[in-house]
Amino acid sequence: MDHAADITASLREVMREHPAGVVIVTVVVDGRPWGTTLSSFTLASLDPPLVLFCLVSTTTPARAILQEGAFGVSFVTAQNVDVARVASAAGRPKFLDDLAEAPYHGAPPVLRACRGSLTCRLENAVAVGDHTAFIGSVSRVITGPGGPPVAYCDGEYRLLKLT
């Protein structure tokens, strides 16, 4: 294995055991809500309110976000793990028509029944290697029904418990 491939393999391994919160980013694709499960989401700034995530540049949602200029973010709890699995199924369409709030006034779709959701306007997109870093300004915060928090670690969704 050459040095770069060695680093990639080691990085994959160390990141695999790094626990991460999970969101589903939603965007309109062919007029329908499409959801993609992400762990790279974070708050980038509170004032002004900006969020950030990285998505493989060649994917359907990455292209759609650039085209639409807007996206939704829904926070995953233990009750949404089945949806997160659907929204990360490789090589399959990830339309979530039955789970999305009907978009209104041109707002991007978000999912019902998550811990909460954001609607965001795309502020900037920066190519970062094989991913694109998307920065969005938060236009709306929607409070959801809540639910037990989960983290993704070592290939599994794990319930977070306080000790």
Ligand X SMILES: Cc1cc2nc3c(=O)[nH]c(=O)nc-3n(C[C@H](O)[C@H](O)[C@H](O)COP(=O)(O)O)c2cc1C
Residues that bind ligand X (CB under 6 A): 22, 36-40, 54-56, 59, 88, 90-91, 152
Can you say how many angstroms the Cα of residue 72 is from the centroid of all Cα atoms in its chain?
9
Min dist CB 155 to ligand X, Å, is 8
Amino acid identity of 21? G
Min dist CB 52 to ligand X, Å, is 11
The β-bridge partners of 42 are 52
SS3 category, 118: strand
| Alpha carbon distance 125, 112 (integer Å) | 27
Q: Compare residues 64 and 70 and give the one whose CB is closer to ligand X.
A: 64
Amino acid identity of 12? R
Q: Compare residues 2 and 130 and give the one whose CB is closer to ligand X.
A: 130
What residue is closest to ligand X based on CB? 40
Q: Compare residues 102 and 159 and give the one whose CB is closer to ligand X.
A: 159
